[in-house]
């Protein structure tokens, strides 16, 4: 199929020479360009340049960012290994989502699209190569994948199914070349709602078939009734025929519409410093163009007095070195931005998508770029300098004047934060804002709930970080900082010092944000 396929076939089962590195368990990504031969035939030099640019600007940085190792590139593909199956799948999703953006303005027959297969296996790793059935299985999975898709093995699925928030579609057991046992394969659906849509398509098909069946039955009944002579039998037969016709009365639709119309909850209403607008009488699509957009619902803010604190911890290399930071007075959102607040921005055509979920839930599946759209909209509509908090401001506010592991102490306590092992019930979505106790500064959900974007570019350590509380915007800003941890993370992520980075322009189902205001 291409250079990378020929290179892999069979050779990885051969034992490496004497003195090779010992075996290790690794997550292996194999990527391969679809229709590479056709692209090269159409424009050999141009395709080569584009592929090298993608490798340099997207694939290699994404692998490094997700703590993997690029083993090699081989003309029309690449092989990478990871210690973490979670990071391997996250890296694969990021690569495919970024390629969608790169291909948006390119004609379909000229697009460079990768198929990606991911497997977990026991392999032998050398400085410039990797051997074993684990690689071969990843290669075969990639060969089954559709262009632009990520397919994973059952071994990977078992490791990540409760850790990476996305959908999965089981493709069943597949017999693959040169592998004795069948391999269970799943297609990754990066959008958390995509699995629902996949199931929905199947359900819609069943509903359609059921509707056809009922229509045939109804036609038969109607033919039978019309064929009967008038009389007692006809009257008796007519009685059940009237009931279905009368069943769709005009009353249920309004009740159903009212049940589906979200109503403001006290927690969200109290978070607004201005009177809440009247409840919606229908969807925003029913509004006429002449209607003026309502004023934005400003998030409730908490004023934070300035001070100095020790930022970071020694629990993780990314949180070092611990350093003193001076914080100027500022204000920060009492809660993360909610679905209702976000959708007002979407209704004003200032934010790119309409969020799903309950009005008082924190908005999620937001990229750093999306969060910037919202604060720009809010600043313009209110004439106030809304922005994202800096990383130092966020940690200072999250600690609430404490220096313990969590803001409430050094030991985990149940029901203090929304995370996977924080004592609350397991959930498929974050709890509504304000569901847990506030920290000493009166801030809710500064740990758990949703990951929260801040202004800073991602740096692996604090070496060289600003000491005045300002955002660290120097360096490569292809990734930005996330704080808080989410309802899908373990308790170690809800520590005020915990930090992570993610791709600036990529949405992820657990990512949200809160806003800040200057002094």
State residue 206's pLDDT score: 57
State residue 101's pLDDT score: 82
State residue 247's pLDDT score: 38
CATH of the domain spanning 267-278+290-517, picked from 3.90.1580.10, 3.10.129.10, 3.30.1200.10, 3.20.20.10: 3.90.1580.10
* Rounded Cα gap, residues 181 and 170, in angstroms: 17
CB 387 within 8 A of CB 405: no
State residue 194's pLDDT score: 42
Output helix, strand, coil percentages for the chain, rounded to the nearest 5. Answer: 35, 20, 45
User: 3-194 is classed in which CATH architecture?
Assistant: 2-Layer Sandwich (3.30)
Which residues have C-beta within 8 Å of that of residue 414, sequence separation ≥ 6? 422, 423, 424
State residue 224's pLDDT score: 66
State residue 266's pLDDT score: 33
State residue 161's pLDDT score: 84
Residues with pLDDT less than 50, the chain? 1-16, 18, 20, 192-203, 231-290, 426
State residue 325's pLDDT score: 96
* pTM exceeds 0.85, yes or no: no
State residue 291's pLDDT score: 52
* Rounded Cα gap, residues 499 and 164, in angstroms: 17
State residue 209's pLDDT score: 66
Residue extents of the structural domains in the chain:
3-194, 267-278+290-517
State residue 414's pLDDT score: 77
How many angstroms separate the Cα of 239 from the Cα of each of 222, 225, 248? 12, 10, 16
């Amino acid at each position: 199929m291409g250079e990378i396929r020929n290179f892999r076939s069979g050779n990885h089962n051969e034992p490496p020479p004497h003195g090779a590195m010992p075996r290790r368990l690794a997550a292996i990504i194999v990527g391969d360009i679809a229709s590479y031969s056709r692209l090269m035939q159409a424009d050999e030099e141009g395709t080569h340049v584009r592929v090298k640019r993608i490798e340099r600007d997207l694939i290699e940085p994404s692998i490094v960012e997700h703590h993997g190792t690029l083993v090699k590139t081989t003309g029309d593909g690449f092989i990478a290994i990871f210690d973490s199956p979670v990071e391997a799948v996250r890296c694969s999703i990021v690569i495919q989502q970024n390629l969608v953006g790169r291909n948006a303005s390119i004609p379909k027959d000229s697009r460079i699209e990768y198929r990606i297969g991911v497997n977990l296996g026991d392999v032998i790793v050398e400085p410039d190569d990797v051997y074993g059935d684990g690689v071969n299985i990843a290669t075969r999975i990639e060969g089954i994948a559709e262009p632009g898709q990520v397919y994973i093995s059952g071994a990977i699925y078992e490791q990540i199914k409760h850790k990476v928030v996305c959908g999965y579609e089981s493709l069943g057991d597949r017999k693959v070349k040169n592998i004795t046992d069948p391999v269970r394969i799943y297609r990754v659906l990066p959008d958390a709602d995509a699995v629902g849509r996949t199931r929905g398509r199947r359900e819609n098909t069943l509903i359609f078939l059921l509707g056809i069946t009922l229509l045939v039955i109804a036609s038969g009944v109607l033919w039978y009734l019309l064929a009967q002579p008038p009389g007692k039998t006809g009257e008796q037969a007519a009685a059940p025929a009237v009931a279905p016709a009368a069943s769709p009365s005009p009353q249920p639709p309004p009740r159903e519409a009212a049940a589906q119309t979200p109503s403001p909850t006290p927690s969200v209403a109290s978070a607004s410093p201005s009177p809440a607008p009247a409840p919606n009488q229908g969807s925003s699509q029913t509004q006429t163009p002449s209607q003026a957009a309502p004023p934005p619902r400003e998030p409730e803010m908490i004023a934070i007095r300035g001070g100095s604190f020790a930022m970071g911890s020694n629990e993780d290399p990314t949180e070092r070195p611990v350093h003193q930071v001076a914080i100027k007075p500022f204000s920060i959102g009492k809660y993360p931005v909610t679905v209702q607040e976000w959708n007002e921005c979407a209704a004003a055509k200032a934010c790119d998508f309409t969020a799903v979920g309950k009005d008082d839930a924190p908005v999620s599946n937001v990229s750093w770029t999306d969060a910037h759209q919202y604060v720009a909209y809010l600043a313009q509509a209110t004439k106030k300098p809304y922005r994202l908090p800096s990383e130092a401001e966020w940690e200072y506010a999250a600690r609430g004047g404490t220096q313990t592991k969590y803001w409430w102490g050094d030991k985990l306590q149940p029901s203090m934060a929304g995370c996977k092992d924080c004592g609350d019930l397991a959930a498929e979505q974050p709890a509504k804002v304000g569901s847990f106790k506030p920290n000493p500064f009166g801030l809710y959900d500064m740990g758990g709930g949703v990951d929260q974007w801040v202004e800073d570019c991602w740096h692996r350590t604090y070496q060289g970080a600003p000491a005045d509380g300002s955002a660290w915007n120097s360096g490569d800003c292809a990734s930005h900082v996330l704080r808080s941890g989410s309802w899908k993370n373990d308790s170690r992520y809800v520590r005020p010092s915990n930090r992570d980075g993610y791709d600036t322009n990529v949405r992820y189902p657990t990512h949200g944000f809160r806003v800040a205001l200057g002094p």
